[in-house]
Amino acid sequence: MALNLSVKIHPVVLFQIVDAYERRNADSHRVIGTLLGTCDKGVVEVTNCFCVPHKEHADQVEAELNYAMDVYELNRRVNASENIVGWWATGAEVTNHSSVIHEYYSRECREPVHVTLDTSLQGARMGLRAYVCVALGVPRGKQGCMFTPIDVGLTCYEPEIVGLNLCQKTMGAAGRSRQVAPMLDLAQVAEAAASLSGLLEQVLAHVEDVLAERAAPNNAAGRELLELVNSVPNLAADTFADAFASSVKDLLMVVTLAQLIKTQLQLNEKLTLLTSQ
């Protein structure tokens, strides 16, 4: 059943939708496009998307479908695992033209999802919603359809989390943006260790408050903490220190090799320029 679907969207998809909205034509009030990703066990994971030029009139919709298929075929050459899973549109609600556009995507994939992103920031939030189209009507009678909301959320790869954290640091005081340079690898390790230490202190403080009956116990949080403790390998302090030192040495070796390769490439480029003159 389509109603049992759930949608997981990667942050890069939201960035692409916002970028397409910012680059829209002056007379366009809404932007639409194709969602690419995978569908497995009732979970639609959206990893990529692209914009489809279109025009909406009072009684019809004009979309450049040939352009959409060309872009999709080019994307398949780069990433063959990404398939069409639905389509997206900017705005806070489903419009009268949405059923016409959804009908096209119903021919391109099975049970397409429709995602809306509120780029107008109503309520000071960028609302994200997902829908599936459910057929309505009586046998041998007039047929219709209805867009029904389904669960939608965000999911991230580890590199995307690093990028999002870096983007978050660009927000300065009073909403002003600022330039932030990517940190070195060792600086990222130090920051992650400091953040982890702070989180552990919060967990210890909460456990002590529960044991002292200053805070109400939470069974779900207790089970999560128990699972977390059991997942930590039982290592002696000396063994852990040796393993950590070995990992740091490996990291330093990789950084050194990367710098040597970078220097060699730069030297090769300069020698090539000298010989070509």
- Residue 170, in any domain of the structure: no
Mean pLDDT of the chain: 86
Please report the pLDDT score of residue 49 as a whole number: 94
Residues 56 and 149 in one domain: yes
Domain boundaries, position 13: 2-159
Please report the pLDDT score of residue 2 as a whole number: 61
Instruction: Give the count of beta carbons closer than 10 Å to the beta carbon of residue 20.
Output: 20
Residues 57 and 151 in one domain: yes
Q: How many domains does the chain have?
A: 3
Distance CA 9, CA 156 (A): 8
Q: Decide if 64 contacts 29 (C-beta within 8 A).
A: no
Of residues 267 and 182, the one with the higher pLDDT is 267
**What is the percentage of the chain residues whose pLDDT exceeds 90?**
31
Please report the pLDDT score of residue 277 as a whole number: 66
Residues 200 and 245 in one domain: no
Residues 105 and 199 in one domain: no
Tell me the per-residue pLDDT of 40-67, one tens digit each, with 9 for 90 and over: 888 999 999 999 998 888 778 888 889 9
Tokens of 182: 């990517």
Distance CA 113, CA 5 (A): 9
Residues 51 and 14 in one domain: yes
Local confidence band at 92 (pLDDT 50, 70, 90 cut-offs)? confident
pLDDT of 25 strictly over 70: yes
Run of H or E including 26:
none
Residues 115 and 151 in one domain: yes
- What is the chain's alpha carbon radius of gyration, rounded to the nearest angstrom? 26
pLDDT of 85 strictly over 90: yes
pLDDT of 166 strictly over 90: no
pLDDT of 72 strictly over 90: yes
Residues 120 and 192 in one domain: no
Run of H or E including 120:
none
Tell me the per-residue pLDDT of 208-240, one tens digit each, with 9 for 90 and over: 999 998 888 888 888 988 888 888 777 788 887
Go through the chain and tell me how many residues it has.
277
pLDDT of 1 strictly over 50: no
**What is the percentage of the chain residues whose pLDDT exceeds 70?**
96
Please report the pLDDT score of residue 48 as a whole number: 94
Over residues 249-256, mean pLDDT: 87
Distance CA 164, CA 15 (A): 11
Of residues 28 and 11, the one with the higher pLDDT is 11
Q: Give the DSSP per-residue string, 75-118.
A: HHHH-TT-EEEEEEEESSS--TTHHHHHHHHHHHSSS-EEEEE-
User: Strands, DSSP E only, in 138-253?
Assistant: 143-154
Over residues 7-13, mean pLDDT: 93
